[in-house]
Amino acid sequence: MARIVGISGSLTQPSRTKALVEEITASASQKLHAPAEIIDIAQIATVLGSTISYNNFPESLTQIYNKVQEADLLVIASPVYKASYTGLLKHFFDLLDPKVLVGKVAILAATGGSDQHALVVDYQLRTLASFFNVYTTPTAIYAKDTEFTDYKLTSESISKRVEVAVEQALFLLKQESPQSLVA
Ligand SMILES: Cc1cc2nc3c(=O)[nH]c(=O)nc-3n(C[C@H](O)[C@H](O)[C@H](O)COP(=O)(O)O)c2cc1C
Low-confidence ranges of the chain (pLDDT < 50): 183
- Indicate whether 59 belongs to any domain: yes
DSSP single-letter state for residue 146: G
Which CATH number does the domain housing residue 152 bear? 3.40.50.360
Question: How many angstroms separate the alpha carbon of residue 141 from the centre of ligand 1?
Answer: 15
Range of the domain at 117: 4-177
Provide, for the chain, the percentages of residues in helix, strand and coil under a 3-state DSSP scheme, each rounded to the nearest 5: 45, 20, 35
Does ligand 1 have an atom closer than 6 angstroms to the CB of 83?
yes
Q: Give the per-residue pLDDT at 65.
A: 97
Does ligand 1 have an atom closer than 6 angstroms to the CB of 80?
yes
φ, ψ of residue 177 to 5 degrees: the values are: -65, 135
Supply the residue whose CA is at minimum distance from atom 8 of ligand 1.
82
Question: How many angstroms separate the alpha carbon of residue 40 from the centre of ligand 1?
Answer: 16
- Indicate whether 182 belongs to any domain: no
Closest CA to 57 of 90, 87, 92, 103: 92
Does ligand 1 have an atom closer than 6 angstroms to the CB of 94?
no
- Indicate whether 139 belongs to any domain: yes
- Indicate whether 183 belongs to any domain: no
Supply the residue whose CA is at minimum distance from atom 31 of ligand 1.
81
> By the 8 A CB rule, do 147 and 155 touch?
yes
- Indicate whether 138 belongs to any domain: yes
Q: Give the per-residue pLDDT at 178.
A: 73
Does residue 138 have a cis peptide bond before it, meaning omega lies within 30 degrees of 0? Answer: no
The preferred substitution site among 43, 81, 84, 153 for testing ligand 1, maximizing ligand atoms within 8 Å of CB, is 81
- Indicate whether 130 belongs to any domain: yes
Report the number of distinct structural domains present in the chain.
Answer: 1
- Indicate whether 131 belongs to any domain: yes
The preferred substitution site among 15, 17, 80, 82 for testing ligand 1, maximizing ligand atoms within 8 Å of CB, is 80
Q: Give the per-residue pLDDT at 55.
A: 82
- Indicate whether 161 belongs to any domain: yes
Render the burial of 62-85: b for 16+ CB within 10 Å, e for the rest: eebbeebeebbbbbbbbbbbeebb
> By the 8 A CB rule, do 9 and 79 touch?
yes
Q: Give the per-residue pLDDT at 5.
A: 98
